[in-house]
Structure 1
């Protein structure tokens, strides 16, 4: 299981993704802690701002060049690549949208599980390809790291902010006329047991990695990022934390992955090309978002309802995107 990445791509990742990611997450944590110490709660505008920004800043656009992936990593022509990915989006996205309409509670549970997997797989690729983390040579350790990294944004907020986590999930399913009744998920005992178990898995995974690491630099980066993300999602309200993570962590790393696959050595040129190639599908996605809002049973109007609509729409796009990224992982030797 070897992933080939150039030295230039690794240097660009450190400069363009790692440092901005640490800076943004650290700043948000500092502001959240200062706000808590001062007894000042951030208003709705601040809580929703990072998620709203993701509509056009990296978040939504980061998957908008999926149609080019088979052509760049495989031997397909551009028209064949576009047709294949278009069919994947139509079939998987359409089926998942239908599931939301008829069974929103299972659809919401699947969204959480799918995003847990996808965000974990994104971090595993970054650690293996860009960081060169040699402690992740084995498939079991990569799988454990995927579980931990995906659980940080999807599970840790539930531990620290159960009421807000529940409000977010409830906003998804209420769009379709259903209610969230699984109160046991948010009970103190459930969170205590689940949080303790997840922390134990986190520590065990890092310790197992340290034992097999030849070059400790990659392991130290893995451990440092894990600690940073634990802190982010324990201290910052869920929508704000996830919005920041989605834009400057997950999406930015994927953009650099696509740029590296493009073979462009100049990062600025590669990012510029990505922006140009992602723009048409991003605009089309926004058109579909408006159309999606017209077919859901509810009429969202509040910030919570609108963010719920946006996240459900992201869910519909995420399933085919995960299929494309999983194919990329197999093609590039991540697994």
Structure 2
């Protein structure tokens, strides 16, 4: 979805922005990861071993976050940057776009995300200079790519949203209307596919609820569940993107 449609998010107050981000647990956000069940089926993987390995992999980032929260936050940012940029399918510019959404909060909105960071990782934050350094590196990398003016314009609009909107709103908008939609389109979710997708989504919500006592904050518990599930999800999506050319009966990639 073009970033132009995200511009109204700059008008959302914090409460509405938080509600939109939490809503992603039910609409598009968690469901796009739950579509990994379809990926496993379409790649011919046995379901029970896949689910077992999936949950085992989810324990690794979760343990890192619970026992080494500062390292957990850095790993979360890096993993999200790599996965979101990969799904963008725009080469280095895609990683810059992902970095814009993930790093602008530390660069421009430190006070606004401080309560979340306090619940999530005891108040640790990526220093603004580090966020700026990473963004500058991604920008220079993207410049070497030579992307089209249209893509650069859309990226500038995304940066404008990330700069002006509440960070919860910018994150929700990108997560819902760009990353999740792209992922669902790549997998080709349609029709009856949504039944197992929402069944798996319910399991992810249960994980977030189980984590609530450890964080005492709904957004922190939700983000902890997202972090735990992003590692196996990213690996499943990578396998899907690297699959051999599918027969005609498989869903088209959506690009």
Which TM-score band applies after superposition, normalised by the shorter structure? 0.7 to 0.9
Out of 79, 91, 115, the residue aligned to residue 167 of structure 1 is 115
RMSD: 2.6
Q: Work out the number of aligned pairs and report it.
A: 246
Q: Equivalents in 2 of 1:317, 1:110: separation in Å? A: 13
Counterpart check, 1:94 vs 2:59: yes
- Once the two structures are TM-superposed, the CA of residue 206 in structure 1 deviates from its matched residue by 4.8
The residue that corresponds to 1:306 in the other structure is 218
The residue that corresponds to 1:3 in the other structure is none
Out of 217, 231, 252, the residue aligned to residue 160 of structure 2 is 231
The residue that corresponds to 2:23 in the other structure is 53
Report the 3-state secondary structure (helix = DSSP H, G, I; strand = E; otherwise coil) of the residue aligned with 1:106.
Answer: helix
Q: Equivalents in 2 of 1:197, 1:255: separation in Å? A: 28
Out of 118, 128, 143, the residue aligned to residue 83 of structure 2 is 118
Spell out, residue by residue over 1:17-65, the C-alpha distance to the aligned partner (whole angstroms, 9 max, x if none).
x25x532x02223x26xxxxxxxxx2x4213121121011100111112
The residue that corresponds to 2:204 in the other structure is 285
Q: Is residue 116–residue 147 contact of structure 1 (8 Å, CA) maintained in 2?
A: yes
Spell out, residue by residue over 1:254-290, the C-alpha distance to the aligned partner (whole angstroms, 9 max, x if none).
111111xxxxxxxxxx533332231111112222222
CA change 1:197–1:275 in 2 (3 A) is: closer
Report the 3-state secondary structure (helix = DSSP H, G, I; strand = E; otherwise coil) of the residue aligned with 2:242.
Answer: helix
Q: Equivalents in 1 of 2:158, 2:235: separation in Å? A: 25
Q: Equivalents in 2 of 1:168, 1:199: separation in Å? A: 26
Out of 58, 66, 71, the residue aligned to residue 41 of structure 2 is 71
Q: Is residue 209–residue 221 contact of structure 2 (8 Å, CA) maintained in 1?
A: no
Structure with larger Rg: 1
Q: Equivalents in 1 of 2:161, 2:97: separation in Å? A: 13
Spell out, residue by residue over 1:223-248, the C-alpha distance to the aligned partner (whole angstroms, 9 max, x if none).
12211211111111111110121111
Q: Equivalents in 1 of 2:19, 2:211: separation in Å? A: 22
TM-score (norm 1): 0.66
CA change 1:71–1:103 in 2 (3 A) is: same
Q: Equivalents in 2 of 1:229, 1:146: separation in Å? A: 11
Q: Is residue 89–residue 320 contact of structure 1 (8 Å, CA) maintained in 2?
A: yes
- Once the two structures are TM-superposed, the CA of residue 154 in structure 1 deviates from its matched residue by 0.9
Q: How does 1:22-33 map to 2 (within 5 A)?
A: 22-23=4-5, 25-29=6-10, 31=11
Spell out, residue by residue over 1:158-217, the C-alpha distance to the aligned partner (whole angstroms, 9 max, x if none).
22212223433232123xxxx52x6x814xxx27xx537735742x4454333xx7xxxx
The residue that corresponds to 1:152 in the other structure is 100
- Once the two structures are TM-superposed, the CA of residue 253 in structure 1 deviates from its matched residue by 1.1
Q: Equivalents in 2 of 1:318, 1:60: separation in Å? A: 10
The residue that corresponds to 1:255 in the other structure is 184
Q: Equivalents in 2 of 1:86, 1:200: separation in Å? A: 37
Out of 231, 238, 248, the residue aligned to residue 319 of structure 1 is 231
Q: Equivalents in 2 of 1:116, 1:170: separation in Å? A: 22
TM-score (norm 2): 0.85
